[in-house]
Structure 1
Amino acid sequence: MSTTEAPAVGNPYAGRRWPVTAWGLWDWGSAAFNAVITTFVFTVYLTAEDDAGQPLFGPGVDTKLGWALAAAGVLIALLAPLTGQRADRSGRRTFWLAIHTGVVIVASALMFFVTPEPSMLLLGLFLLAAGNVFFELASVNYNAMLNEISTPATVGRISGLGWGLGYLGGIVLLLFVYFGFISPDVGLFGITGDNGLDVRVTMLVCAIWTAVFSLPVILTIRDAPRGASERVAGPRTGIVASYRHLFATVGDLWRTDRNTVYFLGASAVFRDGLAGVFTFGAVLAAGSFGFSAGGVIIFGVAANVVAGIATILFGLLDDRIGPKRVIVGSLTAMCVAGLVLFVLHDGGSTVFWIFGLVLCIFVGPAQSASRSLLARLIPEGREGQVFGLYATTGRAASFLAPTAWALALTIAAGVTGRSSDDVQYAGILGILLVLLAGLLLLLPVKAPRPGQPRPTA
């Protein structure tokens, strides 16, 4: 797959192979935090039980974990557009990417000191929440770089390349730490689970992984000289003035480019539906389709590999037919596959393997095309700010899929007179409802033609 093209005037990185590769490697490295730490290893460690069935970190960990992540979500919603806007104005996007990524690396490494005892729970939750906040802030600046290393004709395939590398990197690292440190009882490197050492060493590996694969983009994509950027952006502003400027710009965006505002709303809805597919997929596999614990892990590996490869390939289609069509097609296919999965829920694991993987094929392309569509809509000079709003709207809508899931189970239990556990498959309809709502909200959004230059601020 070629990502090269003549660079845009005044942009030395656009379309060049190494800057694109360096940028994509950050996505590969970021999987250490968002896949291994947040999803599969550290959060599971915090909520684990000992051999006697007692929580390692004391009672009520699940609730405390939920509150910690909720607090992190609030901070992200408040800070993401502000930090993006300030990076735009200062012209120091790479600098802030390095700072925010550095905090994630430090938080990951410090998790090594979280031994399995109740007195260490607060430290573990703090590091996890802080890592989440700074990971999202780093992602704002990272996403905003997409227009620096792409051209209007290649933005889709480059976005797909980065997103696909994120999926594949997560699987490679997860398999490495799982067989190297966690399973069997004595991993390939002789690390045991005594005092949580296997998980704690995994945190160090994640920190090193993130650092190694973040360095290429930080060393390659250089900010403009500080004096030059300040002459363009104007004098520094305080936090209050920055928020005032942010609100003024959002108001201006509403008056002059309501189409982008509509897309931010639509994408927030369908992106939460896409997150719900992975969030509740493992629950469905085990609870409704007869998967063993090991079978769930195997399916998870297959799902991420399929999603990663499909995302890279669909990136090429994005540049040919436009990202909106990719999103519409992906969401439509997912609604059909999900409906079939619901109807055939008595078919066991074979049905889930087929239609569950079909769902996974389209999750990554929809996410990547959403990023590339926004990148095409953003006026030059507002990338960080608008991608910050993208993060904020996503957080604001993050309750939709869990709520729809719970409501679907409650309604199904009431209609059938059975327990919610017995009608768990009905949760599929809740997730599909969120995807369908996002699809319908997206249809009126006007998308630029493939290759069309971006608007100017």
Structure 2
Amino acid sequence: MSELAPEAPAISPANPVKKRTVFAWSLWDWGSAAFQAVVTTFVFSVYITQEAFGPEEVVSAKLGTALLIAGLAVALLAPVTGQLSDAAGKRKLWMGINTAVVVACTALLVLVAPEQQFLMLGLVLLAIGNVAFEFAGVSYNAMLSQISTNKNVGRVSGFGWGMGYLGGIVLLAILLVGFIFPDPGWFGVTHENGWNVRVAMIISALWFAVCAIPVFFAVPEVAADPHRKMGMRGVLSSYGTLFKLIADLWRDTRQTLVFLVASAVFRDGLAGVFTFGGVIAALSFGFSPTTVIIFAIAANVIAGVATIAAGYAEDRIGAKPIMMWSIMCMVIAAMLVFLLAPLGTWVFWVFGLLLCIFVGPVQSASRSYLSRLIPAGREGEIFGLYATTGRAVSFLAPGAFTIAVSLGGAAIYGILGIALVLLVGLLLLLMVRVPKP
């Protein structure tokens, strides 16, 4: 029998789970949203594409290039770093190092003044922060099996993911009310020379740093595997081990490999919902920038609450039904947004928010489903591969959106492209057979 066979579950039902340990683990997700929501989505990424940094098309292209390079680095290195941390028993150590790098990069963004000579500094810090964030996320996801059992992994995963949504929105709301919108804002911070955004970066870094601390005390380090460690002689040999892992998955637990492919596709569709949702709201429904932010806050709050609630349902009915029904509901909601768009802005408010209800449950269930399949001691390795497959198909949603808009001649057609990616992911998911407990 292969060492990857599902008969060696990573999650033992006999292990007691302390609520305070789960809460400490989830606080990392709560704090990490400072980087996701504030830095990469709503605040800094918008700030650095302003005219002060150069022509819009030039800056946008450089931003895209920086994030592309970061994505390639994650795709190439995530499985290997996860594999090495598992074997050496250094999962928590490397999670701490990568978290510290993200915090440092976020704090250093205070140096990025709105002038062209600071553009490269901002892009480099953003790219490094993205890579470190993904690597830290691999270790964080791998910890799921340490703080849950087969009976409650769904609600534990859902609680953590929901905390991420809610934490990001709480911080975003504080920054918008205190610094981004008013001039002057709290403590006399003004918009002059971009100080409102730059101070927000310092606060975001502190927010993440403080919230990340509890997990390192509450969750124990994994034990080293001396047999695997002896067989690893540097990074190059680790790639050989990675290819052997993929071959073993194909031969012995093919359903795990099929799920990795299916989840990569539908997760890219989920990313497209938030990436292009604001574009559709603004161009097709006439939302102002302020209204887009208000909608985004509402969408994330709804997604967070729904994710926590869906975690409890998942432990009763299973992760696959949650993923399948959620994706189907998202496709239906997307089609209703498209078909009813001529009726006015209420369509996007109603059916756009309905669509957002199901984003978090799919993401959380995908993580917990994979966690159930991974043998003990291989969590970082498999979750690294999970990150790699996601990056490998990250062109799908942007490509489908762009093609749909080009063929339809209007931004509203882009939602059909996103729905198509979700539908393909659903069809691939149907091919995955749930392993017997």
Indicate which of 414, 418, 429 corresponds to 1:442.
Answer: 429
Aligned length: 425
Q: RMSD of the TM alignment (CA)?
A: 1.5
Q: How does 1:220-231 map to 2 (within 5 A)?
A: 220-224=218-222, 229=224, 231=226
Instruction: Report the counterpart of residue 316 of structure 1 in structure 2.
Output: 312
1:3 aligns with none
Q: Which of 129, 144, 147 is the aligned partner of 2:145?
A: 147
Give the match for residue 25 of structure 1: 27
Is this contact kept in 2: 1:69–1:129, CA < 8 A?
A: yes
Q: Aligned partner of 1:36: which letter?
A: V
User: Which of residues 255, 260, 271 is equivalent to 1:259?
Assistant: 255
Other-structure match for 1:270 = 266
Alignment pair present for 1:426 and 2:413 = yes
Alignment map for 1:154-303 (pairs within 5 Å): 154-224=152-222, 229=224, 231=226, 233-235=228-230, 237-303=233-299
Q: CA deviation at 1:395?
A: 0.5
1:58 offset after TM fit, Å?
5.8
Residue type matched to 1:87 in 2?
A: S
- 2:111 aligned partner: 113
Give 1:229 deviation, angstroms: 2.2
What is the Cα deviation at residue 41 of structure 1? Answer: 1.0
Q: Which residue of 2 aligns with 1:372?
A: 368
Q: CA deviation at 1:231?
A: 3.6
Distance (whole Å) between structure 2 residues aligned to residue 383 and residue 291 of structure 1: 43
- Pairwise mapping of residues 320-359 of structure 1 onto structure 2 (< 5 A)? 320-359=316-355
Point out the more displaced range, 228-237 or 269-278. Answer: 228-237
Cα distance per residue 1:147-195 (max 9 Å; x no partner): 0000000000000001000000010000111111111121133111111
Contact 1:91 1:233 in 2 (8 A): no
| Runs of at least 5 residues in structure 2 that lack an aligned partner in the other structure | 1-10
- d(CA) in 2 for partners of 1:290 and 1:308? 26
Q: More relative contact order in 1 or in 2 (CA 8 Å, sep 6+)?
A: 2
Q: Report the counterpart of residue 52 of structure 1 in structure 2.
A: none
The answer on 1:36 being equivalent to 2:27 is no
* Shift in Å, 1:9: 7.3
Q: Deviations over 1:265-321 (max 9, x none)?
A: 000111111111111111111111122222111111110000000000000011000
One-letter code of the match for 2:53? L
SS of the residue aligned with 2:233? coil
Q: Which residue of 1 aligns with 2:357?
A: 361
Output the amino acid matched with 1:375.
S
Deviates more, 1:125-134 or 1:14-23: 14-23
Task: Tell me, in whole angstroms, the C-alpha distance in 2 between the residues paired with 1:400 and 1:249.
Answer: 26
Higher fraction of helix: 2
- The separation in 1 between residues aligned to 2:86 and 2:246, in whole angstroms, is 14
SS of corresponding position for 2:224: helix
Q: Tell me the TM-score normalised to structure 2 length.
A: 0.94
Residue aligning to 1:15 = 17
Unaligned 5+ segments in structure 1 are: 1-6, 50-54, 413-419, 453-457
Deviation at 1:441, TM superposition (A): 0.4
